[in-house]
Amino acid sequence: MNPEETVIFTNCHTHTFTHKHSPDRFVPPPLNYLLRIGVIRRAVLAFGHWFDPKRKGAIGRYAEILETSYDKDQEAIFRRLQSFYPEGTRFVVLPMDMEFIGLGGLEESVDVQHDELHALARKNPDTLIPFAAVDARRGKLGVDKAIERLQSGFRGIKLYPPIGYHPYDRNLWALYDWAAEQTPTVPVLTHCSRPASVQFHGVPTREMQTDPETGEVGNRGRFELLTWFTDPDSYRTLLTRWPNLRVCLAHFGGAGDWGRYLDKPWDSSTDATEKSWLAKIADMIRSGEYPNLWTDIAYTLFADDEYVYLLKTLLSDERILDRTLFGSDFYVVESARLEERRRSVRIRAVLGEALFTKIAVENPKEFLG
């Protein structure tokens, strides 16, 4: 490489949605109503920063999330994100469709969110790579809109099953068919860690309980159902039916499962239901059965200081190295213990330039096509 050449990194997992795109009861009452009043919101955030200036506890971390979400618009959040990274860094921006999670209405629709993101991407064509959020419950209309967005400049598909749908939902089949037929195929990035704060809060319907592969109707409790939607095993049929479709199981199983993997490593005698999702994803990649299966380290590597050493060990396997993407989950990662710039610099330093370049430069080019 020419020593004067600038290496351009890609952060494959970021967000710019604002409070206007989340349900009005996402922050519990009465705080949600109080935060709408500017003077009260500023006082609450100031207290959070004063009480926990280094964001070591929940108050300071959530104050930072709220402050970011109440930025003027998606462009303001994107500029904040850019300020943490070298000039020229590219960012995959993932919108969130939270209309059906059961916590009230949205101030701005998901269509408005996508329109704003589209305009922002056109304004930043070299640095912003927009994906289109899809919810299976929107049916054919949702799929048609997603395809229209993908034809107009959006570069990939964003799924978030814990908000209430199975990734193999039959409503999504037409979208996968279309994405797999494109040249190159359209990448799919999907949330794959156990259900947390952003999840379905309503009463599961018969349709949600129906297995899209067998047609059998289950009777799972809400959390069990959402876990089923999100489990890496739920993608096996999808990956088999559309083998050329590039699918990224984001978060590499999630921070909680990385911790459990370190505390209680899975072995062949362990019941499959107890298997760490990190181990599941790693085994799926190593198996060779799913050649277009990917994963990313978003949020997970920002949640605990020691996980970067486990990552470096995992990347010693060429099969894992070839299918791992750098991502941060900005700005949701502010709820983790480590800040955006500090953590990304630490990951780069511990991995070394060769490994970091692989997951942040070379792999994103292949995944994004």
How confident is the model over 309-364, as pLDDT tens digits?
A: 999 999 999 999 999 999 999 988 755 555 788 889 999 999 999 999 999 999 99
- Strand partners for 190: 159, 249
Cis peptide before 168 (omega within 30 of 0): no
Q: Which pLDDT does position 1 carry in this prediction? A: 38
Backbone angles phi, psi at 270, to 5 degrees: -80, 140
Burial class of residue 330 in the structure, from the number of CB atoms within 10 Å of its CB (0-12 exposed, 13-18 middle, 19+ buried): buried
Q: Is 46 domain-assigned?
A: no
Q: How far apart are CA 313 and CA 307, in angstroms?
A: 10
Q: Is 238 domain-assigned?
A: yes
Q: Is 231 domain-assigned?
A: yes
> Is residue 72 within 8 Å of 38, Cβ to Cβ?
no
> Could you tell me which of 369, 336, 320, 331 has the C-alpha nearest to residue 351?
320
Q: Is 202 domain-assigned?
A: yes
Total domains present in the chain: 1
Q: Is 63 domain-assigned?
A: no
Q: Is 271 domain-assigned?
A: yes
- CATH of residue 203's domain is 3.20.20.140
For the cut 50, the answer to whether the pLDDT of residue 8 exceeds it is yes
> Is residue 256 within 8 Å of 194, Cβ to Cβ?
yes
First to last CA, the chain: 22
Q: Which pLDDT does position 28 carry in this prediction? A: 72
Cα dihedral 357/129/284/251 (nearest 10): 80
Q: Is 56 domain-assigned?
A: no
Per-residue pLDDT reduced to its tens digit, 213-240: 999 999 999 999 999 999 999 999 999 9
Does residue 169 sit in helix, strand or coil? coil
Question: Domain range for residue 78?
Answer: 10-20+71-368
Q: Is 227 domain-assigned?
A: yes
The stretch 296-302 carries a mean pLDDT of 94
For the cut 80, the answer to whether the pLDDT of residue 102 exceeds it is yes
Cα dihedral 277/282/284/287 (nearest 10): -150
> Is residue 154 within 8 Å of 186, Cβ to Cβ?
no
The sheet carrying 247-253 orders its strands as: 10-14, 90-93, 128-133, 156-159, 188-193, 247-253, 293-296, 324-325
Question: In whole angstroms, what separates CA 155 from the centre of its chain?
Answer: 15
